[in-house]
């Protein structure tokens, strides 16, 4: 078997046929169809055309009503193209002739016609090329909603090989039953990695030219722990891989025996909490005997509904389920962390040159109040069924927390006025994931009830390393002494003010870092629920004095490498 090497970031082992996703033009992949799927692709095209026709008719009517029939005429050109049998027949011919997905065929025909129109000398005819571009855009937008591509029956059990995947794409592919992911790029702190962990699917990142090396449909073996991709396995290797997959899947979820708190050898009690992105993880969290939910990333409700926002009732149902399932244990729900580069850019039109430093998290909450009032209503309405804590992402100033509190109080007042039962107070916490927030933690501690240290972003912002960017992946080091020093500041500020503090970045679930985190003074670690078992085992073997010494030595290190070596020595 030929081995390709990458970085393994989501445990697990899988074997399956490779499906290479080629995103060559914009966000369109070329996917070859099985013979029996070709007509289904034509059907998707027809359905998309019909829906666009209906939409155009609606738009034309309202434009006519509001602006007049002259302007409404601009839609006639779009209609003509959509009804032009030559245009549609050409797309169908490509779907059938090349056995490809509808998106790809639309893109190809659109590009070809666009190029021909560009060569026409008569200006007004040349401009008609713009109408074709518009129609192609409508078609692609319509075809692409739902699953990133219609892999149909090919998705189940497949190993998806792609350049990059957004968290939403990974989630949708996971729901279609894929067995694992191999990505050419991607950063280890990305939400795509977090999604793969949540779905318990192996993921290997940073495998250069992976799509050129795999053959579509041929078996590949991937190991998410060692970061290897095996090509052309022989029959013995295939049989061994299948045995291993069966063995590993029977391991999950971890059955946890016994009750009682998790303690170190010297008796210190440590809370092990779950990070949850999708509600299916509730069972894993319960099976792992978590001490509650330390982070529920509520923006995943949006990912699953995009481009629509989840309604108040949908959010209420999700929050209620989380709270009931873990009651009386605490459930910390983070308000939408939308904006930024990865999640929910489609939530609003954004032309930000640098979205990671732009309107993200609480900044967006405070500018898009209507959206967040819906969320806060859902949260407060669900609060009485369990032990709710509300957490605010991307805080960088005391003012943001105060404004957030004011918004929450206003929503609370309105609910109470309408006779809704709402607890007198709900603990409010700030995520500490911006260096500035860590530096003013002693001030923030006066206006919040708890802190959660988000080392995924804290690392990105402290070291100025995009957590998604493969090219700087080597610089993304959560154990960098600069990050540790900020963690130290936050834990000390929390202790002095008597507010609780937890850590919920990915480092919280890495058993190699457990001693270090306890040494820092942390007593609450929040992680993927599948990591709890291994961290609990690790905690049980630790003495606090050793952990504290380790922490002191780590804080005086000059480089991340030195800290990492300390942990393995």
Q: Which is nearer to ligand PEP, 339 or 505 (CB)?
A: 505
Closest approach of ligand PEP to the CB of residue 352, in Å: 17
> Residue 248 in contact with residue 13, Cβ under 8 Å?
yes
- Give the rounded distance of the alpha carbon of 371 from its chain centre: 20
Q: Which residues pair with 231 in a beta bridge?
A: 2, 220
Distances (CA, A) of 84 to 110, 137, 177, 311: 13, 16, 38, 39
Q: Which is nearer to ligand PEP, 400 or 433 (CB)?
A: 433
Residue 107 lies near ligand PEP (rule: CB under 6 A): no
Interacting residue with ligand PEP among 38, 220, 338, 504 (CB under 6 A): 504
CA distance 319 to 334: 11
Residue 297 lies near ligand PEP (rule: CB under 6 A): yes
Closest approach of Mg ion to the CB of residue 426, in Å: 21
Closest approach of ligand PEP to the CB of residue 146, in Å: 24
Distances (CA, A) of 28 to 47, 48, 246: 19, 16, 34
Residue 166 lies near ligand PEP (rule: CB under 6 A): no
> Is the CA virtual torsion 274, 279, 281, 284 positive or negative?
positive
> Residue 202 in contact with residue 181, Cβ under 8 Å?
yes
Closest approach of ligand PEP to the CB of residue 421, in Å: 31
The structure tokens listed for 176 are 């279609």
Q: Omega into 356 within 30° of 0, i.e. cis? A: no
Identify the active-site residue in 78, 326, 480, 504. 504
CA distance 467 to 187: 5
Closest approach of ligand PEP to the CB of residue 351, in Å: 22
Closest approach of Mg ion to the CB of residue 507, in Å: 12
Segment 123 to 142, residues that bind ligand PEP, using CB under 6 A: none
Q: Radius of gyration (Cα) for the chain, nearest Å?
A: 26
CA distance 104 to 124: 28
Residue 457 lies near Mg ion (rule: CB under 5 A): yes
Segment 267 to 296, residues that bind ligand PEP, using CB under 6 A: 295
Closest approach of ligand PEP to the CB of residue 505, in Å: 3
The entry of ligand PEP, Mg ion, none near residue 510 (CB within 5 to 8 angstroms by kind) is none
Closest approach of ligand PEP to the CB of residue 299, in Å: 8
CA distance 196 to 181: 8
Q: Which is nearer to ligand PEP, 222 or 395 (CB)?
A: 395
Question: Which among 55-63, 114-122, 139-147, 454-462 is the span making contact with Mg ion, rule CB under 5 A?
Answer: 454-462
Residue 440 lies near ligand PEP (rule: CB under 6 A): no
SS3 track for 122-150: CHHHHCHHHHHHHHHHHHHHHHHCCCCCC
Identify the active-site residue in 191, 326, 480, 533. 191
Give phi and psi for 269, each to the nearest 5. Answer: -90, 130
Segment 457 to 476, residues that bind ligand PEP, using CB under 6 A: 457
Residue 455 lies near ligand PEP (rule: CB under 6 A): yes
The DSSP symbol for 512 reads: G
User: Would you give the end-to-end CA distance of the chain in angstroms?
Assistant: 33
Closest approach of ligand PEP to the CB of residue 219, in Å: 33
The entry of Mg ion, ligand PEP, none near residue 297 (CB within 5 to 8 angstroms by kind) is ligand PEP
Residue 538 lies near ligand PEP (rule: CB under 6 A): no
Helices (H), 8-127: 38-66, 69-72, 74-83, 85-98, 102-118, 123-126
Q: Which is nearer to ligand PEP, 245 or 503 (CB)?
A: 503
Question: Which among 222-230, 364-372, 407-415, 453-461 is the span making contact with ligand PEP, rule CB under 6 A?
Answer: 453-461
Q: Helix, strand, or coil here: 309? A: coil
CA distance 307 to 286: 31
Residue 224 lies near ligand PEP (rule: CB under 6 A): no
Q: Which is nearer to Mg ion, 223 or 433 (CB)?
A: 433
191 catalytically annotated: yes
Residue 198 lies near ligand PEP (rule: CB under 6 A): no
Residue 16 lies near ligand PEP (rule: CB under 6 A): no
Query: What contacts 224, CB < 8 A, 6 or more positions away?
Result: 8, 9, 10, 11, 12, 13, 14, 180, 196, 201, 202, 203, 204
Q: Which is nearer to ligand PEP, 142 or 166 (CB)?
A: 166
Interacting residue with Mg ion among 433, 470, 488, 510 (CB under 5 A): 433
Question: Which among 84-92, 351-359, 452-460, 550-558 is the span making contact with ligand PEP, rule CB under 6 A?
Answer: 452-460
> Residue 154 in contact with residue 134, Cβ under 8 Å?
no
Interacting residue with ligand PEP among 433, 466, 470, 488 (CB under 6 A): 433
Per CB under 5 A, residues contacting Mg ion are 433, 454, 457
Binding site for ligand PEP (CB under 6 A): 295, 297, 337, 433, 454-457, 504-505
* Residues labelled catalytic: 191, 504
């Amino acid at each position: 078997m030929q081995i390709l090497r990458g970085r393994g970031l989501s445990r697990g082992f899988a074997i399956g046929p490779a499906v290479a996703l080629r995103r060559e033009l914009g966000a369109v992949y070329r996917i070859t169809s099985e013979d029996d799927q070709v007509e289904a692709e034509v059907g998707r095209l027809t359905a998309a055309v019909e829906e666009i026709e209906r939409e155009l008719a609606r738009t034309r009517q309202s434009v006519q009503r509001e602006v007049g029939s002259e302007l409404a005429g601009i839609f006639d050109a779009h209609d003509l193209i959509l009804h032009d049998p030559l245009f549609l027949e050409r797309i169908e011919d490509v779907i059938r002739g090349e056995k490809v997905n509808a998106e790809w065929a639309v893109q190809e025909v659109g590009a070809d016609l666009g190029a021909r129109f560009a060569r026409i000398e008569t200006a007004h005819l040349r401009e008609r090329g713009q109408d074709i571009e518009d129609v192609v855009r409508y078609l692609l937008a319509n075809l692409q909603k739902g699953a990133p591509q219609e892999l149909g029956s090919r998705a189940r059990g497949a190993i998806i090989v792609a350049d990059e995947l957004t968290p939403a794409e990974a989630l949708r592919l996971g729901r279609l039953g894929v067995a694992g992911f191999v990505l050419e790029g991607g950063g280890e702190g990305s939400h795509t990695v977090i999604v793969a962990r949540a779905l318990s699917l192996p993921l290997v990142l940073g495998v250069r030219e992976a799509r050129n090396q795999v053959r579509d449909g041929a078996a590949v073996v991937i190991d998410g722990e060692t970061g290897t991709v095996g090509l052309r396995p022989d029959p013995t290797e295939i049989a061994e891989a299948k045995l291993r997959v069966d063995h590993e899947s029977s391991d999950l979820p971890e059955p946890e025996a016994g009750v009682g708190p998790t303690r170190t050898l010297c008796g210190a009690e440590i809370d092990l909490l779950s990070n949850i992105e999708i509600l299916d993880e509730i069972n894993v969290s319960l099976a792992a005997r978590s001490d509650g939910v330390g982070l529920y990333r509520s923006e995943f409700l949006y990912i699953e509904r995009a481009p629509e926002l989840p309604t108040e009732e949908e959010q209420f149902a999700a929050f209620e389920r989380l709270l009931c399932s873990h009651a009386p244990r605490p459930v910390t729900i983070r308000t939408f962390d939308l904006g930024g580069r990865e999640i929910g850019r489609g939530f609003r039109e954004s032309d930000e040159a640098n979205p990671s430093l732009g309107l993200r998290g609480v900044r967006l909450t405070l500018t898009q109040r209507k959206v967040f009032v819906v969320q806060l209503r859902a949260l407060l309405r669900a609060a009485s069924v369990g032990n709710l804590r509300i957490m605010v992402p991307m805080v960088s100033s005391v003012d943001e927390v105060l404004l957030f509190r004011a918004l929450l109080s206003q929503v609370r007042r309105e609910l109470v006025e309408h006779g809704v039962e709402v607890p007198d107070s709900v603990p409010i916490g700030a995520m500490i994931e911006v260096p500035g927030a860590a530096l003013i933690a002693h001030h923030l501690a006066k206006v919040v009830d708890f802190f959660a240290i988000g080392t995924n972003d804290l690392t990105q912002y402290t070291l100025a390393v995009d957590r998604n960017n493969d090219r700087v992946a080597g610089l993304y080091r959560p154990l960098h002494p600069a990050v540790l020093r900020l963690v130290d500041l936050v834990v000390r500020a929390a202790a002095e003010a008597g507010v609780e503090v937890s850590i919920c970045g990915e480092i919280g679930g890495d058993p190699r870092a457990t001693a270090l985190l306890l040494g820092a003074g942390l007593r609450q670690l929040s992680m993927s629920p599948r990591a709890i078992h291994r961290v609990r085992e690790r905690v049980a073997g630790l003495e606090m004095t050793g952990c504290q010494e380790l922490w002191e030595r780590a804080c005086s290190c000059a480089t991340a490498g030195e800290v990492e070596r300390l942990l393995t020595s």
